[in-house]
Structure 1
Amino acid sequence: MNTLLMERHNRRKTVADALGMSFSRVRALRRLAAGPIPLRELAERMGSDPPYTTVIVDDLVRRGLAERVANPADRRSKLVRLTEEGRAAAARATDIMSVPPDALLDLDPEDIEALDRIVAKLLR
């Protein structure tokens, strides 16, 4: 599975090239698509440190994809949220990342059903 998904079907470069940004920025866009969050929470969701996440958010803001807004729950902090253009970019990224490998699409329906059962067992 790792060879199939990470070596033969790694969409990271495809999505980064399509959006003209590094994959770390794409990851941030996709995490922000769920709604505005504090920078610290974004850093936690991305598994990165807050200073690096600040660099990413600064770049997204410069590109017009995100903005910082007042946090209604805590006036001392800001939330990061996507702009309309940012939501469109996040949706495009999700579309690109969701395309299954050709090898998977070529499977017989019975094989896909068997694979679904196996994956369901692994996720329990």
Structure 2
Amino acid sequence: MAMLTYREAIRDAMSEEMRRDERVLLMGEEVADYQGAYKCSQGMVQEFGPARVVDTPIAELGFTGIAVGAAMAGLRPIVEYMTWNFALLATDHIINSAAKTHYMSGGKVSAPMVFRGLNGVAAHVAAQ
């Protein structure tokens, strides 16, 4: 059995899904050019290109809403928050858009996606 760090296991899992399904994309702060705030997406933009590994502005509510819309349109976004506490800024879309769409549409529309964030990996990483 291979010995992997959590970071390597997460990257391997995301890459495996992106190889398997062209609809899967990764989006979030510093996931492309910087290769992830904690290097979880290292090498992914080189393999999958900037259309599928997308750097976003520091606007969690905005890019989460874009990801929900992309999921409703047939894509399979993985949304990465630089630190998990930033996801609280996007709770409206996480709870009221992504989680409820299937039920609110009577099962006609869904938003299959993954929200992931880092927590406890470094000291002094609280929000502003």
Would you say same fold, with TM above 0.5? no
Task: Kindly indicate which of the two structures has a greater share of residues assigned to helix.
Answer: 1
**Higher relative strand content:** 2
Rg larger in 1 or in 2?
A: 1
What is the TM-score of this pair, normalised by structure 1?
Answer: 0.30
Calculate the TM-score normalised by the size of structure 2.
0.29
